[in-house]
């Protein structure tokens, strides 16, 4: 993202957010803000911004943040940081050089945050796993389905082999019986 309109007087990232296009132009009633922690005493002011604007299915965030649930990827929102003190020319050049332009992927969303989001959207958990409240149930179902199909295919193959073996044994016994009858034993 480009930050051409950065103003040194902006001390709150919420002011800065107005200059970034998060697909909210079409639906200004929707907001991508997940959490805001600006503080007067801190050097940095931080906001967390939903990633729904990146989603093909849900590009316009409606405060339900469906993209997190849909992807089940356990990756949290972008974090926008704005330094509230004036930077020296060296520091500013360093930031531009390494492209540290205040927005990056931050830590994962914790299970508690997922639970709150889960309750808000009335989703239920199918299985109780400690690490991922939103497990990819499609993956689990497909794995179980694949396992069932492979097992049934193997069992069917074994059944067919057994059937052919029994038929061969019956044929062999009939041949022995016929030879006994012809030999007069």
- CB-count burial class (<10 Å; 0-12, 13-18, 19+) for 92: middle
Whether 5 maps to a domain, the answer reads no
Per-residue pLDDT tens, the chain, 185 aa: give them.
Answer: 334 444 455 555 566 566 655 555 555 565 556 556 655 555 566 666 666 666 666 666 665 666 655 655 555 555 555 555 555 677 666 666 554 444 444 445 555 555 665 555 555 555 444 444 455 666 777 888 888 888 888 888 888 888 888 888 888 888 888 877 777 66
User: CA–CA separation, 77 vs 51, rounded Å?
Assistant: 6
Note the pTM of the prediction, 2 decimals.
Answer: 0.26
Q: Do 61 and 128 belong to one domain?
A: yes
Residue 4 within a domain: no
DSSP element (H, E) containing 105: strand 103-105
Q: Which residue has the tokens 């830590």?
A: 107
| Largest pairwise CA distance in the chain | 115
Looking at 113, 135, 157, the residue that finishes a domain is 135
Dihedral through CA 80, CA 86, CA 92, CA 96, nearest 10?
A: 20
Question: Does a structural domain hold residue 113?
Answer: yes
**Residue-by-residue DSSP string for 55-86:** -SS--S--SS-HHHHHHT-----EEEEEE-SP
Domain that holds residue 60: 13-135
78/167 same-domain check: no
Total number of domains constituting the chain: 2
């Amino acid at each position: 993202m480009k930050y051409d309109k950065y103003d040194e007087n902006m001390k709150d990232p919420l002011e800065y957010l107005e200059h970034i296009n998060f697909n909210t132009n079409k639906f200004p009633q929707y907001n991508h803000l997940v959490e805001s922690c600006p503080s007067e005493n801190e050097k940095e002011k931080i906001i967390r911004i939903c990633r729904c604007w990146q989603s093909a299915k849900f590009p316009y965030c409606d405060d339900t943040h469906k993209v997190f649930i849909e992807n089940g990827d356990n990756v949290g929102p972008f974090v926008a940081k704005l330094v509230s003190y004036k930077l020296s020319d060296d520091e500013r050049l360093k930031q531009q050089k390494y492209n540290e332009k205040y927005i990056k992927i931050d830590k994962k969303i914790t299970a508690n945050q997922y639970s709150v989001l889960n309750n808000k959207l009335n989703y239920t958990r199918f299985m109780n796993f400690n690490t991922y409240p939103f497990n990819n149930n499609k993956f689990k179902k497909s794995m179980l389905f694949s396992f069932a199909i492979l097992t049934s295919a193997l069992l069917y193959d074994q059944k067919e082999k057994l059937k052919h073996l029994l038929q061969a044994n019956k044929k062999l016994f009939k041949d022995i019986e016929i030879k006994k009858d012809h030999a007069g034993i």
